[in-house]
Chain A
Amino acid sequence: AQKITQTQPGMFVQEKEAVTLDCTYDTSDPSYGLFWYKQPSSGEMIFLIYQGSYDQQNATEGRYSLNFQKARKSANLVISASQLGDSAMYFCAMREANQFYFGTGTSLTVIP
């Protein structure tokens, strides 16, 4: 089974609207961490947000928030007030036992 599943290969959102990028994960380890990274067309990887498995509250970083639903094993990224510069690939990742697993990514396009 895939450790990280991102079912949306491509998403479109209108500028200034909010968008949710889906991520589900598979682990039996009670201790794990979930990450989201942004990869613009220039290729660099940019850390966005982190959620620990024991964190009680959903992580937020500016316009990014992580909708963590532990029972459903989902860790969706919510981007509020989308900007043109948000157009990029977005990868969900998990740290489990100090190994890191990435999803296949979602390509987000923000439409003016």
Chain B
Amino acid sequence: EPEVTQTPSHQVTQMGQEVILRCVPISNHLYFYWYRQILGQKVEFLVSFYNNEISEKSEIFDDQFSVERPDGSNFTLKIRSTKLEDSAMYFCASSTPLAGWNEQFFGPGTRLTVL
């Protein structure tokens, strides 16, 4: 069964460094999302991406963040100049009109630790 994959599973970085989190959505999906979940807290929406551009973004998704679909398969989240409070699990998700758009398939997440 096709699935969303994310790499790396765990990323440790120093405060102030840039990180790129990678996601490979399910191949025929058209809508892509990034969420984050600080340990023990609720999931927070960051951004949705459709047709090679940002569709919606939350207040959290400020200039520190950017997303890109550099090729036909990868979907990346870049965090510039990481802060301690960026430590969280980052989930990528994708959806398709064939599943009615509403069923989002989540990846296993990347745990980001900022030291």
Interface size class of B (residues with CB under 8 A): 20 to 34
Stretch of B17-25, B40-48, B68-76 on the interface side? B40-48
Using a Cβ cutoff of 8 Å, how many contacts connect chains A and B? 51
CB pair A102 B44 closer than 8 Å: yes
Tell me the bound Cα distance from A37 to B37 in angstroms. 14
A-facing residues in B72-93 (Cβ within 8 Å): 89, 91, 93
The interface residues of chain B, by DSSP majority, are classed as strand
A-facing residues in B35-76 (Cβ within 8 Å): 35, 41-45, 48, 55-56, 58
In the complex, 14 of the A-B residue pairs with CB atoms within 8 angstroms, ordered by the A residue number, are A35-B102, A35-B104, A43-B109, A44-B108, A44-B109, A45-B35, A45-B43, A45-B91, A47-B104, A50-B100, A97-B56, A102-B42, A102-B44, A102-B45
Interface on A for B, CB 8 Å cutoff?
33, 35, 37, 43-47, 50, 52, 91, 93, 95, 97-105
Interface on B for A, CB 8 Å cutoff?
33, 35, 41-45, 48, 55-56, 58, 89, 91, 93, 100, 102-109
